[in-house]
Amino acid sequence: MIPTLRRIGVFTSGGDGPGMNAAIRAVVRTAVYNGIEVVGILSGYEGLIRNEMRPFGARDVSNILQHGGTILRTARSEGFRRPEGRTVAAANLRAAGIDALVAIGGDGTFAGALLLEKEHDVAVIGVPGTIDNDLRGTDLTIGFDTAVNTAVGAIDRIRDTASSHDRLFFVEVMGRNSGLIALHCALATGAEYVMVPERPQSVEELATVLLAGAARRSSSIVIVAEGDEEGGAFAVAKKLKEHTDRFDIRVSVLGHMQRGGSPTVTDRILGARLGIAAVQALMEGRRGSMAGIQNDTVSLTRFEEVIAARKELRPELLHALAVLSI
């Protein structure tokens, strides 16, 4: 253990995701187990600026595993984007005697952590908490498995009514810059088509596929990532109606329900493993990196590499959807 590692801070930032509480619990209890004090920072980077902190002990994180969201709350901070805001945050950390931080969030969170390290020499280890699963350096991010399972449950129900009424449903799932949720949902629910921001797809191409399959099936499901270049599900449905009147179309936007709910076993265990790994990394003197899972093994990836580019869609999954949706 580093002799100066007496007290660490933990916070969640950006969008919330089921399993974040498991990570918070693991961070707190791993630190306490090793004789390190923990300070919980409320509302992410905004809480750092506002000095919203309180001590956390092992019992403060009891009975939180099964809850979605984050007990530390989260917020996006415009103040932290400015150098003067980061200066205030660093001064508050020093005044609180905090030697290092565990930051739970996505690429925006890690970009902020990198600035804090470079400008103010603050040691930070990140834990990937985002339902998008779009971060390099980890096979899974906390919240993705729960979000996909939540969406799949809803889409299965939509499939029932689509079949009953011979309808075409467009279902919009979250994913402003990433189509991973959409692609996994499409494969898991047997959707006929998926529209994702990473792959340009025209409404004409969509119409060709749907019309070709109309003779073989009475109903269809199209999954649309909210960030698709053709627009969200309502926009795509409107464009298809203008292209052809062959289908009885309905639209369903699942929205923020995907962020909430009790985390799956996968997300609870992932949060536990990565929370422990983050504290252990700080104890070993590591910093400026994200703790992730690759090939079921904990690994550390520098923030610069994590935020340099988003994780790409796997071509074999796109091919699998095309094969299975005939």
Q: Which of the residues are catalytic? A: 132
Q: Which residue has the tokens 């990565």?
A: 274
CA separation for the pair 286, 277 (Å, rounded) = 11
CA separation for the pair 321, 177 (Å, rounded) = 20
Closest CA to 42 of 34, 50, 31: 50
CA separation for the pair 96, 122 (Å, rounded) = 13
Helix 265-283 crosses helix 20-33 at what angle (to 10 degrees)?
Answer: 40
| Number of CB atoms found within 10 A of residue 94's CB | 12
CA separation for the pair 275, 127 (Å, rounded) = 7
CA separation for the pair 53, 48 (Å, rounded) = 8
Closest CA to 66 of 257, 259, 268, 258: 268
